[in-house]
Structure formats: structure tokens, C-alpha cells
Amino acid sequence: MYIVVGLGNPGLEYEKTRHNVGYMSATFIADDNGIALRNEERKAIVGKGVISGAKSMIALPITYMNLSGDAVASLVNFYKIDVTSELIIIYDDIDLEPGKLRIRKKGSAGTHNGMRDIVKKLGTNEFIRVRVGVGHKPDGWNLADFVLSKFNKDEVPTMEMAVRDVNDAVKLIISDGADAAMNKYN
């Protein structure tokens, strides 16, 4: 079974912020694949269904971003999945231009506290991740203020396309493997 995790923060005040692009993407994937996100399980809102012919779960951690590893590790351990091939984490990246995707099979968490917590709680950095560019922090901005800001109206169409691209990338990862998705989207 695949577990597709969209990182973000729960609550209306965080909807449509840069830091919640993982939530936005995972919710779109769930909708596109007919998966209802309505159950709370292991510190996440989850839905189960089929993506690209494979049994899959979509998860939105409700632990807040900096403790995302609690939900991810709990789901991974309970379902006993292979983290190197069956776990896909979707999250925001301030080092990429808005809408740009970068897919990797392993790597550092960089400056992303949610990813740092996941790596720490899993004890490995070898899992598939889909990074979604949200733009660079403007000079003079506090990083937290920037990632918790909403997209400006000029960025919205680009980010809507990025969310659709993430959906297609995740389907490709599940059907043909991470390398195929990396070749197409990186």
C-alpha cells in the first residue's frame, strides 16, 4: 500500500498558504481519485482508495507542520510499509520557483521543519518526496511569515497547475516508479 502524505497545518487560517501546498495537493489527489478524506487515524485525516491501480492512502497530518513526523511514523509503523518505495511526501519548497516540482528518492530536509521531523522520527531520509516550489522569501521578510502567507493573485493560476502536476506525478510514481516521474518533472 502507498501512503501519500501532504504536509500542512490544520485550520482555516492556514488554508491556501504557501506552507499548505502539500495539503492542497493531497486533497486534489484525493478528489481526483475518488478518495474521501474523512477519517481521523494516527494523528492524520486519512482516506483510502486506489491510485493508478494500487491500494493507497492519502494522509494530512493534524499535528501541525513541525511535528509531522509523529503522524507519518505512526502510519508507516502501523501499516508496515516500505518507506523507500511506498511513502510519498508532498511539501512546499522556498528554494524553487512557484509551481516548479522536484522529485527525489532521498535527500536532506533542508530548512523545512516538517521534513526534519519526519526524517528524525523515521530514522531515514530515504523516501520519495515531491517538493513544490512556492517562491523565494523576499528580502526583509521573516521566513515563518512568508511560508504562512497566501499566494498573490498572479501566483494562483501557477499554483493551481502545480497541484494538478503533483497529482499526475504521484500517479506516475505509483504506476511506473519514482525514476519515471523524476525524468518527466525534474
Our CA dihedral for 95, 100, 101, 102, rounded to 10 degrees, sits at -40
Smallest CA-to-CA distance from 5 within 114, 110, 111, 94 is with: 114
C-alpha cell at 45: 485525516
Alpha carbon distance 180, 186 (integer Å): 10
Alpha helix locations (H) across 123-177?
Answer: 143-147, 156-176
Specify whether 19 is catalytic.
Answer: yes
Catalytic residue among 19, 121, 129, 131: 19
Our CA dihedral for 163, 164, 166, 169, rounded to 10 degrees, sits at 180
Cα atoms found within 13 Å of the Cα of residue 132, Cβ hemisphere only:
32
Catalytic residues: 19
